């Protein structure tokens, strides 16, 4: 029986690395076109079975997060997600690495340094950045994000926003504000949609100043503090707030306490994500899981 041609055999014949052969056969960037064509030609001459490219076992996964996310301090949701992915990869014998990127980075070069077989992109990414990653022809999954034509894993953000707002309405609150960092993030837009849907069904129209979106031009935490101050400084401040995530909700609670407002007696606050620290505060945070 003829022994199947391996990528290592092609690499030796071409005088290049195994990684270079893998990129050439998969059509990934990072090689000169003449080098790619030479590798493919030698692979064909040696009788390489190109169908094996679609059956390769995933051995290395790269977890990608946008540089704007402060994973250690401001967004424990992504810390928990990262650890969960790492645990699952370890159980499957898959190596996982992490990379924070932004549109100003040399995306292809940075990604290829990790030699990934698949990508997991979590949280917000600019559409052009997702398009660049998709052109690498690697299996890719989006988490807490949506893009047409790509597999995505998301909670029911609309339903979550709806339930959070409905809970506040059921408490008898009449002036319910929505506090978020940016509407450019798919999940936040969906949660806002749920907020508006609940108010619409209750036939309640909130003034536009009750939807406060923090400025993207400063530190996320500081911008949320400014935004919360805007709400509390209104002539008729809200008696309830739906915060787009738990970290924002905890910032809002802290701001209220600094002003001598009692939560939930004076102002009720609901978050989203059900992070572990949401239960540690006094009072503990009501949140959507």
- Domain 7-54 fold is 434 Repressor (Amino-terminal Domain) (1.10.260)
Instruction: Give pLDDT, residue 279.
Output: 75
Q: Range(s) for CATH 3.40.50.2300 in the chain?
A: 60-153, 157-288
What is the phi-psi region of residue 137: left when phi exceeds 0, alpha when psi lies from -120 to 50, beta otherwise? Answer: left
> Between 33-45 and 7-14, two packed helices, what is the crossing angle to 10 degrees?
120
- The Cβ of residue 243 has, within 10 Å, a number of other Cβ atoms equal to 28
Please check the confidence at residue 57 and state whether its pLDDT lies above 70.
yes
Q: How far does the chain reach from its first CA to its final CA, in angstroms?
A: 56
CATH number of 60-153: 3.40.50.2300
- Domain 157-288 fold is Rossmann fold (3.40.50)
Q: Is 17 helix (H, G, I), strand (E, B) or coil?
A: coil
pLDDT digits (tens, 9 = 90+) for 206-220: 999 999 998 776 677
Hey, which bits of 126-190 come out as E strands? 140-143, 152-153, 176-180
Tell me phi and psi for residue 100, to 5 degrees: -100, 130
pLDDT digits (tens, 9 = 90+) for 80-126: 899 999 999 999 999 999 999 988 899 988 998 898 999 999 988 99
């Amino acid at each position: 029986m003829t022994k199947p041609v391996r990528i290592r055999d092609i690499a030796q014949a071409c005088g290049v690395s195994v990684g270079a052969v893998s990129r050439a056969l998969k059509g990934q960037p990072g090689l000169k076109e003449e080098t790619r064509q030479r590798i493919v030609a030698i692979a064909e001459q040696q009788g390489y079975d190109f169908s094996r490219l679609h059956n390769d076992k995933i051995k290395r996964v790269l977890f990608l997060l946008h540089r704007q996310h402060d994973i250690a301090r401001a967004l424990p949701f992504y810390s928990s997600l990262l650890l969960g992915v790492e645990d699952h990869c370890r159980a499957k014998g898959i190596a996982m690495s992490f990379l924070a990127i932004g549109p100003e980075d040399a995306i292809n070069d940075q990604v290829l340094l990790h030699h990934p077989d698949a990508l997991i992109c979590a949280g917000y990414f600019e559409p052009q950045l997702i398009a660049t990653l998709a052109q690498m022809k690697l299996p890719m999954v989006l988490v807490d994000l949506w893009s047409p034509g790509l597999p995505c894993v998301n909670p029911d953000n609309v339903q979550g926003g709806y339930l959070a707002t409905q809970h506040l309405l059921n408490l008898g609150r009449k002036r319910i504000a929505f506090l978020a960092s940016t509407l450019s993030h798919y999940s936040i837009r969906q949660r806002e949609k749920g907020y508006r849907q609940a108010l619409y069904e209750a036939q309640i129209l909130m003034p536009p100043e009750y939807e406060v979106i923090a400025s993207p031009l400063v530190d996320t935490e500081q911008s949320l503090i400014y935004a919360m101050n805007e709400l509390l400084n209104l002539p008729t401040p809200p008696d309830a707030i739906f915060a787009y995530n738990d970290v924002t909700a905890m910032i809002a609670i802290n701001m209220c306490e600094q002003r001598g407002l009692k939560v939930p007696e004076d102002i009720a606050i609901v978050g989203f994500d059900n992070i572990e620290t949401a239960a540690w505060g006094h009072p503990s945070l009501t949140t959507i899981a």
